[in-house]
């Protein structure tokens, strides 16, 4: 019995020895294999994850492309079904101010609501127009057709537009760096260079910018009373213009722009002068710009000056003709303080062209807050030293708070830069 018990005991001991010494070895071998398998599985999992992500990405791209193709198809269908899809780009500028003039009083001034349209006519021309409503009424300020594919670097423009005279006279007042049109432009050009006529531009095919303009117009300047543009008349009673404009980059960040203009009218109408003599209106404009390329929306300095000369032949009371000459102009500087704020100063020297000895000098600091690209507030103080004494609104201390807003598509293109 004892023997019979010993045998299983020996077997049990042997099993125990095998268990204690051999199984861990076997286990260790299995563990390392498991580790290897785990590594492979993990690697496969990672690869699968990457493949799934890639599939997701490709599906997204496919969906996005399909959506885009779908949109294009829809827009094609829309164009086919709705002729209004060819409607021009439309925008409006609202320009209003609160004014206080020491000698004339206060004013809520609805300066302008300028409605703009523009579109291509066909492959050869485009049309733009600006119609302005103000307290004086509603008028077509500009409506002109411009060629787009004339050969030899030529461009032709016809209709009503701001003639290419000077730099600021051909801009709309809401584009200025300051509130009001300088008096020198008002008196010498007759306000903005609005004209009915034809213009040809030529871009010289040379490495730097040089552009020439030739034009013929009923007259230049809306408030220019030296010509009556409402009826037919001799061709000598029209205005003819020539302009040359150039530009140089002084450095990457600084530039100079120079222009010279000459508007000649062979025969003008002068009150009290039945014959009328010729008139030559000249202008030179110079603009310096500092625009650091890496910070154009935050920093910048613009200094702009324009000088005008007016020379006209007038009859004296004793039937003797003489030339009457006047010189005027303005200078301004605008400094960009950051993306939203800028400040500057305008000096204006405006003679009376009827009595060139009398003049109005004005000094105007201004501060602009660009709330966004389409929303702007501007404060300006002006002091006018007036010796002309034609209008009491043009003398003494003046304060302006201007609010300009834009909706829709609105651009004045190259001239509005």
Partner 1 sequence: MKKFLLYKKLGLVVLSFALAWLQSDVLFAQQIRVVATWPALADLTRQIGKDLVSVDSLATGVEDPHGVPMKPSFVPRLNRADVLVLIGLDDELSWLPGLQEVASNPKILPGQRGYIDCSVGIPVAEAARVLDRAEGDLHPKGNPHYLLDPVYTKIAAQNIAAGLSRSFPQHQATFEKNLKAYITELDSWIARWEKLTAPLKGVKFVEYHQEWVYFANRYGLKRIGAVELKPGIEPTPNHIVNLVQQIKQEKPQVLLYGAQNPRVPQQIASETGIKVLRLYSSSGGRAETDTYIKWIDYTVRTLVQAVGQA
Stretch of residues binding partner 1 (CB under 8 A), selected from 3-11, 109-117, 213-221, 291-299? 291-299
Between 158 and 177, how does the x/- string for binding to partner 1 read (CB under 8 A)? --------------------
What secondary structure does DSSP assign to 201-258, as a single string?
A: EEE-SSSSEEEEEEEEES-S-TT-TTS-TTS---GGGSEEEEEEEEEEESSSSEEEEE
Among residue numbers 68 through 87, which ones bind partner 1 (CB under 8 A)?
A: 68
On whether the CB atoms of residues 321 and 311 are closer than 8 A, the answer is no
Q: Is 15 in the site for partner 1 (CB under 8 A)?
A: no
Determine the Cα–Cα distance for residues 59 and 200; give it in Å rounded to an integer: 54
Which of these, 379, 368, 289, 363, lies nearest to 331 by C-alpha position?
A: 363
Stretch of residues binding partner 1 (CB under 8 A), selected from 7-15, 171-179, 235-243, 293-301? 293-301
Q: Is 207 in the site for partner 1 (CB under 8 A)?
A: yes
Between 107 and 146, how does the x/- string for binding to partner 1 read (CB under 8 A)? ---------------------------------------x
Could you say which of 247, 345, 347, 403 contacts partner 1 (CB under 8 A)? 247
On whether the CB atoms of residues 351 and 318 are closer than 8 A, the answer is no
How many residues bind partner 1, per CB under 8 A? 47
On whether the CB atoms of residues 184 and 329 are closer than 8 A, the answer is yes
Between 46 and 65, how does the x/- string for binding to partner 1 read (CB under 8 A)? -----------x--xx--xx
DSSP-assigned beta bridge partners for residue 380: 366, 400
Stretch of residues binding partner 1 (CB under 8 A), selected from 3-11, 241-249, 306-314, 389-397? 241-249
CB of 175 to partner 1, least distance (A): 13
Which of these, 179, 18, 169, 216, lies nearest to 98 by C-alpha position?
A: 179
CB of 42 to partner 1, least distance (A): 15
3-class secondary-structure state, position 70: helix
Could you say which of 10, 43, 85, 297 contacts partner 1 (CB under 8 A)? 297
By CB atoms closer than 10 A (0-12, 13-18, 19+), residue 346 is buried
- Comparison of 219 and 289: residue with beta carbon closer to partner 1: 289
DSSP-assigned beta bridge partners for residue 360: 350, 386
Q: What is the dihedral of CA 215, 218, 221, 227, to 10 degrees?
A: 130
- Comparison of 49 and 77: residue with beta carbon closer to partner 1: 49
Q: Is 155 in the site for partner 1 (CB under 8 A)?
A: yes
On whether the CB atoms of residues 83 and 394 are closer than 8 A, the answer is no
CB of 123 to partner 1, least distance (A): 8
Q: Which residues bind partner 1 (CB under 8 A)?
A: 57, 60-61, 64-65, 68, 146, 148-150, 153-155, 201, 203, 205-209, 211, 247-249, 252, 255, 257, 289, 291, 293-298, 338-340, 372-374, 407, 411, 413-414, 416-417
């Amino acid at each position: 019995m004892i023997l019979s018990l010993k045998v299983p005991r020996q077997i049990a001991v042997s099993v125990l020895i095998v268990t204690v010494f051999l199984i861990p070895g076997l286990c260790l071998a299995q563990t390392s294999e498991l580790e290897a398998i785990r590594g492979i599985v993990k690697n496969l999992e990672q690869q699968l994850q990457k493949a799934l992500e890639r599939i997701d990405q490709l599906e997204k791209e496919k969906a996005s492309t399909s959506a885009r193709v779908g949109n294009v198809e829809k827009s094609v269908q829309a164009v086919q079904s709705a002729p209004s899809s060819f409607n021009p780009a439309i925008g409006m500028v609202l320009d209003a101010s609160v004014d206080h003039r020491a000698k004339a009083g206060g004013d809520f001034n609805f300066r302008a609501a300028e409605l703009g349209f523009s579109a291509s006519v066909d492959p050869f021309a485009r049309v733009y127009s600006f119609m302005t409503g103000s307290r004086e009424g509603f008028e077509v300020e500009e409506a002109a057709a411009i060629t787009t594919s004339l050969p030899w670097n030529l461009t032709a423009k016809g209709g009503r537009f701001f003639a290419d005279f000077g730099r600021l006279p051909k801009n709309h007042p809401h584009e200025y760096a300051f509130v009001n049109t300088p008096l020198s432009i008002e008196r010498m050009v007759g306000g903005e260079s609005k004209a009915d006529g034809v213009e040809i531009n030529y871009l010289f095919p040379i490495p730097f910018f040089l552009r020439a303009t030739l034009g013929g117009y009923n007259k230049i300047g809306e408030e220019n009373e030296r010509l009556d543009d409402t009826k037919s008349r001799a061709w000598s009673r029209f205005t003819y213009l020539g302009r040359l404009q150039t530009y140089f980059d002084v450095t990457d960040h600084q530039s100079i722009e120079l222009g010279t203009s000459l508007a000649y009218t062979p025969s003008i109408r002068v009150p009290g002068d039945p014959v009328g003599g010729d008139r030559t209106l000249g202008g030179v404009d110079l603009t310096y710009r500092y625009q650091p390329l890496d910070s154009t929306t935050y920093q910048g300095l613009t200094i702009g000056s324009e000088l005008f000369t007016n020379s006209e032949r007038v009859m004296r009371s004793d039937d003797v003709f003489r030339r009457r000459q006047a010189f005027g102009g303005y200078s301004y500087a605008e400094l960009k303080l950051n993306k939203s704020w800028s400040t500057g100063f305008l000096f204006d020297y405006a003679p009376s062209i009827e009595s060139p000895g009398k003049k109005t000098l004005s000094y105007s600091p201004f501060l602009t807050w660009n709330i966004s690209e389409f929303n702007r507030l501007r404060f300006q103080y002006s002091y006018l030293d007036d010796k002309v004494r034609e209008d009491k609104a043009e003398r003494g201390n003046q304060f302006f708070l201007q609010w300009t807003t834009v909706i829709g598509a609105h651009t004045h293109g190259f001239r509005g830069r």
